[in-house]
Amino acid sequence: MTGASRNATEMGTVVAAVVLAIGTRTANVVVILTDTVTFLIAAAILFRWRRSRDRAARDRRRRPIRGSRRAHAG
């Protein structure tokens, strides 16, 4: 787990805890829970999208440029 994803997860947990605490006081628990779930889903989608972008960039770096001398060496 990278530092960014850990921070996002921790922040999500804190937000959920705060939202739940406020929600129980105002008795809108269902609305708060729905918002929390929506937020967590959005965070997960964002995290997966960023990770797939990072992986694509890594693959591009690893693959030598077609026609470069290094590719034909040896």
Q: Rounded to whole angstroms, how far apart are CA atoms 20 and 15?
A: 8
| Domain assignment present for 48 | yes
Position 34 scores a pLDDT of 84
Domain boundaries, position 51: 3-62
Domain count, the chain: 1
Q: What is the pLDDT of residue 21?
A: 75
Residue 47 CA to residue 40 CA, distance in Å, equals: 10
Using an 8 Å Cβ cutoff, are 7 and 19 in contact? no
Q: pLDDT, tens digit, for every residue of 21-37?
A: 776 666 666 777 788 88
The answer to whether residue 58 is domain-embedded is yes
